[in-house]
A and B are shown apart, each in its own frame.
Chain A
């Protein structure tokens, strides 16, 4: 095995790609995309049961095979987010949570003050807290100190597909914390995921990039390969960048064509 596992809350994962369950064209497509992505962790939202109660998303997710990661999407305060995590735990979704405290409806940027408060509360209560945060190295360090199991900086706004807009900050975050760094949000296509992994990130979380693709199942496969390729390239140690050429072929031993 060429790589170590991703460790979150004492659990080990081989796949470094975390995927969602939102916005798929059908439940069958979602199930096939999960399979193609090779993921081991799947995010879900926690919402009111539609009454009368019908089909469940969990009819399409093998919970013995995948670890569910409930999120607190749509929560605009630490209190709401914490209560949602308690509900998720009571529902039997486990203690690993993707913590979101949203600050603004238009950008869906995190409210990092509420996020920090909720992280502290939930970590104390024994949750494995995976906070969605902005690409701020100072905040990443504060979240780690508050007990976060990893930090999940955004690459770009949720669902925007703009890619990794500030790779330098991601790089500084990687130097600032010892917990895993997982890029969450902003990925649009395979190269974005590869860039995140080449920077040295420990994983990538995405939903829309796969679910919204014209062929979600093949995009899921592309993302799997991109995360693996990026990770492998990072571990391999890339060459330095230079402005001018360096010949790959020897300069000696060229035949003499002068007359």
Chain B
């Protein structure tokens, strides 16, 4: 059994109960200079290990890119 979440605009099947921390590890995302929002709410780094992802959650993972 798995749940479908949306990560940076793309659907992704994950295990139920997966945390933000677990997702970042799964995707091999560096923590430094990275921020996460779940359903438009910003997730503070301190809560990565406790926030779990549910069916239909929209996750945005951002970091600095080139810009002016």
Contacts and interface: CB of A to CB of B under 8 A. Distances in A.
B7 A51 contact: yes
Nearest to A159: B68
Nearest to A79: B40
B64 A22 contact: no
A49 interface: yes
Contacts of A86: 42
B61 interface: yes
Contacts of A93: 33, 64
A258 interface: no
Contact of A49 (B34, B37, B40, B42): B34
Given A47-B62, A207-B67, A56 B33 contact: yes
A241 to B, nearest CB: 34
Given A46-B62, A86-B42, A71 B37 contact: no
Contacts of B32: 58, 92
Contacts of A21: 64-68
A162 B13 CA distance: 49
Question: Looking at chain A, what size class is its interface with the partner chain?
Answer: 35 or more
* B: contact size bracket: 20 to 34
Given A53-B30, A90-B45, A92-B33, A68 B64 contact: yes
Interface string B21-42: 0000001111011111100101
A49 B8 contact: yes
B55 to A, nearest CB: 20
Contacts, number: 111
Contacts of A56: 30, 33, 63-64
Contacts of B40: 83
Contacts of A159: 68
Contacts of A23: 66, 68
Nearest to A68: B64
Contacts of B42: 83, 86-87, 90
B60 interface: yes
A86 B30 CA distance: 19
Contacts of A90: 35-36, 42-45
A211 B28 CA distance: 31
A49 B67 contact: no
For the complex of A and B, list the 3 residue pairs with the smallest distance between their C-beta atoms, beginning with the closest. A45-B67, A207-B68, A20-B68
